[in-house]
Structure 1
């Protein structure tokens, strides 16, 4: 029986680093086990903000990867301000009151001249190449994944012209994601974003989202079927790790300026003052980008002497830190718009079997998952007393060599189980 072919149109692909690449790299790994042959279509010369060469080894052998050249405006923007173009491409936007004229100008151009995003010029040339590819390879379905949401416009054009079966995967929302409001959009530009979002959601045959909050949001825009397929974890080959001797609280990934849980820094400062043993044992590991704003907060709360700032490491290295840390820290911006964000690292945290301390908005989807799986505790940004009591409880368990977690029901978040869910849509 011949395998059904699906074309996956993505922007992030090894050697890109970060969580965006993991989702489809893992789906591609497991799809052949369900009699589906994935063909991957990605940019040839992308301007990835993070590079992780180790992920190249994870691309399954025998998978067809087709690359199409892309013109990246961030390279041109770099002529004006290399640092600002790079940080904006990562989604790092300076607080409004601290923005330079150059940054304000770049945000205005990004928001109003590149709709829906800076990769929009890849749509037309990719459409022409894929049109030929579909008939040549006898591909029955296409799948677009965003952000960047401009990739959904490729799916839109293919659907309109060829009536191909099209699934649109949203790893993040479109017009309600936090940074969207910071793009200095004109009214006409904001309207255009909404129109494109509505058109994509009402034209795709099926829609995939990564959270229940996004599913509810999109159900107000379209009657098309919307499936929640979260991110997940895979079997990682790492050597046996020994738990840290220090009371390590580790954050893996970017800790941007708006993800700054001052309530936690206040709790840790106070516990240090009240408990000399706690002060001697505490170590804060930051594995990934740490914004200057957060670093200043740590200094203001007298925590700098506890900080181990490691910067970006390979995915394999990050897994080691997760497994040997005493506690794992998950932070989200305190906003109504971020309730739908379920970071990909949550699932790696869960399978690392270390207690998770999550701090985010009220009603955050993460709280449902950590509660159901018994993998950690969620707090809001004003939960000082509850957070302090929990950290102290964890610390006492650490001192008694008894800091453990007993997860339940993790199997449904395994990448293979999630791929099985995907195959039902394809």
Structure 2
């Protein structure tokens, strides 16, 4: 009789946290026992999550052993002064620099220069003390840290230095090249500190896991340690089937950040509503999730506010239902060199929704390749206004003819179970 291999996963985001950060390891943990791996999951007991989704608690595998320890987060103190601003900044929504209040400027400066690498850094020392004992008692010799927040990699770093363990560092997003990193008002000293910690983590762990090929290439310039690409993916979910929206709905699910503001899309829609009476009568912009003030202002500037149906944040299961009843799904990524590597987690849920995707992002974006190879939609750069407009018009014609559909190919490789199998092989090889 074989004994399951035990591993310890150190994560900040865990149910009842909402948003994309929680999904990756919630699903890995769900499937790891099928590959004879027993997951122990270490998470904070009293975290400050910007989004909550209580329904996700029921998705936690009953085969997982969950360990919780208290965390001190200065965001809790800051929220006494401005709860809404604190929530936004902690979730990565950084206001436009020209429109930042004094409080926002101070909070962003402190976030970048005092709490290095982030405001969860106070959890590192107590976690190391607790986990050294826990790992010995439960005879666990393999740990995985997942970030952001990248403070969790410092827990792995210290445990690796003090114990005979195998350590895999999972980067859901890059560290110093993530889009918002430059907006943190970093001093030269703070910028160097971030860089040196990043380099030490990457050169001390036994294995790196990243979510995109571009991040792998980027990290190969910093370390010679092995790097595996395991993207995010989709899970097979029982979803209440609703009829498709009667209007021509363009739906965006997830946080619509200021830097992700697609003026090219608003311009295309403005021109189509101005010249195309049927389009004007049928258009609806369905926004699910937090939307920045800058995005809403741009929508207004292009005269599109009357088409907006802003549903706010919805629990994951409700968001999926709303997504699958939409006519078209919008996937928008920031137009910068740093975001080529970002493959949004929602892409994979989009791909199995049987609705066409219209995506806008930087030149050579990794997710453009996935959309093309799976035949799930069309991708445009920020310089392709006329092509984008033509695609929206074509899609609208198919909608009018009741013939708007998509025929995906090769999706199975992105299923959560297939991706967990890839992870399990890595864990067994490293043992």
In the aligned structure 2, how far is the partner of 1:295 from the partner of 1:190? 32
> What is residue 183 of structure 1 aligned with on the other side?
184
8 Å Cα contact 2:141-2:164 kept in structure 1: no
> What is residue 42 of structure 1 aligned with on the other side?
43
What TM-score do you get using the length of structure 1 for normalisation?
0.99
> What is residue 359 of structure 1 aligned with on the other side?
360
**Secondary structure at 1:127 match in 2:** helix
> What is residue 78 of structure 2 aligned with on the other side?
77
**Secondary structure at 2:146 match in 1:** strand
8 Å Cα contact 2:233-2:349 kept in structure 1: yes
Moved more, 82-91 or 256-265: 82-91
> What is residue 139 of structure 2 aligned with on the other side?
138
1:171 Cα offset (Å): 0.1
**Secondary structure at 2:409 match in 1:** coil
**Secondary structure at 2:103 match in 1:** helix
1:376 Cα offset (Å): 0.8
> What is residue 408 of structure 1 aligned with on the other side?
409
In the aligned structure 1, how far is the partner of 2:99 from the partner of 2:231? 36
Number of equivalences: 426
Residue by residue over 1:246-305, the C-alpha shift from the partner in whole angstroms, topping out at 9 and shown as x without a partner, is 111100001011111111111111111111111111111001011111111111111111
Moved more, 381-390 or 239-248: 239-248
In the aligned structure 1, how far is the partner of 2:294 from the partner of 2:186? 25
1:82 Cα offset (Å): 2.3
Residue by residue over 1:129-176, the C-alpha shift from the partner in whole angstroms, topping out at 9 and shown as x without a partner, is 110011111112100000000000010011111030000000000000
Residue by residue over 1:38-57, the C-alpha shift from the partner in whole angstroms, topping out at 9 and shown as x without a partner, is 00000000000000001001
1:118 Cα offset (Å): 0.4
In the aligned structure 1, how far is the partner of 2:103 from the partner of 2:240? 47
In the aligned structure 2, how far is the partner of 1:181 from the partner of 1:15? 30
Moved more, 370-379 or 91-100: 91-100
Counting only pairs closer than 5 Å after superposition, residues 60-139 of structure 1 correspond to structure 2 as: 60-139=61-140
Moved more, 409-418 or 321-330: 321-330
Moved more, 90-99 or 65-74: 90-99
Is 1:238 equivalent to 2:239 in the alignment?
yes
- Gap change, CA 1:79 and 1:239, over 3 Å in 2: closer
> What is residue 298 of structure 2 aligned with on the other side?
297
After TM superposition, what 4+ stretches of structure 1 lie above 6 angstroms from structure 2? Answer: none
> What is residue 256 of structure 1 aligned with on the other side?
257
1:191 Cα offset (Å): 0.6
In the aligned structure 2, how far is the partner of 1:105 from the partner of 1:273? 43
Gaps of 5+ in 1: none
Counting only pairs closer than 5 Å after superposition, residues 325-344 of structure 1 correspond to structure 2 as: 325-344=326-345
In the aligned structure 2, how far is the partner of 1:110 from the partner of 1:171? 20
Moved more, 141-150 or 289-298: 289-298
Is 1:216 equivalent to 2:217 in the alignment?
yes
> What is residue 369 of structure 1 aligned with on the other side?
370
Gaps of 5+ in 2: none
In the aligned structure 1, how far is the partner of 2:386 from the partner of 2:409? 27
8 Å Cα contact 1:214-1:340 kept in structure 2: yes
1:224 Cα offset (Å): 0.5
In the aligned structure 1, how far is the partner of 2:356 from the partner of 2:290? 22
Is 1:421 equivalent to 2:422 in the alignment?
yes
> What is residue 391 of structure 1 aligned with on the other side?
392
Is 1:54 equivalent to 2:42 in the alignment?
no
> What is residue 196 of structure 2 aligned with on the other side?
195
Moved more, 202-211 or 256-265: 256-265
The RMSD of aligned alpha carbons is 0.8
8 Å Cα contact 1:4-1:140 kept in structure 2: no
**Secondary structure at 2:352 match in 1:** helix
In the aligned structure 2, how far is the partner of 1:244 from the partner of 1:304? 19
In the aligned structure 2, how far is the partner of 1:412 from the partner of 1:236? 16
8 Å Cα contact 1:355-1:376 kept in structure 2: yes
In the aligned structure 2, how far is the partner of 1:165 from the partner of 1:282? 53
1:411 Cα offset (Å): 0.1
1:114 Cα offset (Å): 0.6
In the aligned structure 2, how far is the partner of 1:163 from the partner of 1:184? 38
What TM-score do you get using the length of structure 2 for normalisation?
0.98
